[in-house]
Structure 1
Amino acid sequence: MTVISNNPNCNFIPSNPWLAVGWRNEDDISFELEPRLSRKDIDLIVGEATEIKPNDNQVMVGDQVVDYDYLVLATGPQLAFNEIDGLGPEGHSVSICTTAHAKIASSECGRPFVKMVAAQSL
């Protein structure tokens, strides 16, 4: 079995809000994929699948050809902040959709955000 991922780490996305408010750090919500996969005899290729050749049962990862018997696609979401003017990290809002976004949110929101969340939970 082979996993192809553009990220060598697994980031537990549901914990991004905790990262944003400073209750966790990145090491608390992520881990390296390779050691855990290799224990189960699963190979990891870090890269982006650029082409699928279904007639040949192959996936292209850059210049590398990966043969397969069965193919499972788990693509995840495609963020589309550009669909609404001003939305997203480059706009006038803060995102926690990715770990990188949550880290930016943490630095931008800081303590006032934590106090606001705490006050609303009373």
Structure 2
Amino acid sequence: MSRIAPRLGPLEEGSGSRRLSDDPPESSPTGNESGGNTHQETWVDYDLDDRAPLLFISGGKDHLMPPAVIRSNAKKYRGSEALTDFYEFPERSHFTGVEPGWEQVADYALNWAVSHARAPRS
């Protein structure tokens, strides 16, 4: 059974924080009165403690999403008590998971996931 976390709502006036909301964003297809094509907003709760461990993998020679960008994305999760890790494969490109030698990346990710797995809550 999958569970979808509530979407973060608009910024609370003067608080600097977002409120949780189950209402669709106003720019979503269900909240748009103009009838035009729109996209649904996506919100990430970086501070969510009740989530699975998260591993960011980067290729050191990735010019599309350089390691600094991936590292910066990982740092956004610092406020969460849940585990967030970053690992860089220095000689790999943006296509690190599909280029020759991808097995090394897959093995690293699998070993990381297994070593950080936790039993499901009952």
TM-score by length of 2: 0.20
Q: Which has the higher strand share?
A: 1
Q: Which has the higher helix share?
A: 1
TM-score by length of 1: 0.20
